[in-house]
């Protein structure tokens, strides 16, 4: 995934807000799963993650879960749903039940920070691409792409310059 700047993330969120609003209407009765597919099939992974973030932003985390889901008057088979007992659990309380680190959206939020950390490990600590990848939890190809696009130049250590294979062709 290409790292997005804060401005690009903001523009992406603004562009996806109407899609999020449309999906909220579709899910609450203005459409069906075909409409959901129609409005999301053209989105790439980055856009889908951003859409999830925008949709989450439309939800009040302090409302009760039963209130948030009160529009559900049918079950998965289309039959009238039984009345649910109203409980005090809010969306925020429900979110607190998720254990471990949440990785959803981490690519969008922290990619630039990961690139900066990778650059520091590569240039200042002298780690290899594979070591950097392991340290930051990224793939070696991703780190190599960041290195190549960012023009990271690692200074050779003493004796290393002489031991590197030459890219020149031997004189004929």
| SS (HEC) of 105-116 | CHHHHHHHHHHH
Q: Which two tokens stand for residue 149?
A: 């696009």
Q: Which two tokens stand for residue 28?
A: 């609450």
CA distance 112 to 74: 44
Mean predicted lDDT score pLDDT of the chain:
77
CA distance 140 to 51: 28
Q: Which two tokens stand for residue 154?
A: 């690692």
CA distance 97 to 79: 30
pLDDT of res. 18: 92
Interval 21-57: pLDDT, tens: 999 888 888 888 788 888 889 988 889 989 998 888 8
Provide the 8-state DSSP code for 123. Answer: H
pLDDT of res. 110: 59
Interval 134-147: pLDDT, tens: 888 778 888 888 88
Interval 75-126: pLDDT, tens: 777 777 776 666 668 888 877 766 555 444 554 445 667 788 888 888 888 8
């Amino acid at each position: 995934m290409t790292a997005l700047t804060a401005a690009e993330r903001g523009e992406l969120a603004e562009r996806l807000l109407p899609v999020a609003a449309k999906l909220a209407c579709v899910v609450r009765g203005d459409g069906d799963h075909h409409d959901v597919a129609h409005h999301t099939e053209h989105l790439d992974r980055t856009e889908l993650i951003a859409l999830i973030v925008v949709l989450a932003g439309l939800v009040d985390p302090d409302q009760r879960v039963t209130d948030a889901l009160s529009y559900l008057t049918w079950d998965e088979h289309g039959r009238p749903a039984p009345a649910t007992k109203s409980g005090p659990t809010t969306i925020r309380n429900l979110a607190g039940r998720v254990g471990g680190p949440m990785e959803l959206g981490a690519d969008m939020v922290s990619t630039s920070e990961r690139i900066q950390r990778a650059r520091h490990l590569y240039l200042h600590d002298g780690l290899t691409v594979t070591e950097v990848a392991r340290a930051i939890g990224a793939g070696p190809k991703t780190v190599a792409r960041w290195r190549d696009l960012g023009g990271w130049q690692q200074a050779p250590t003493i004796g290393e310059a002489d031991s590197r294979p030459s890219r020149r062709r031997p004189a004929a």
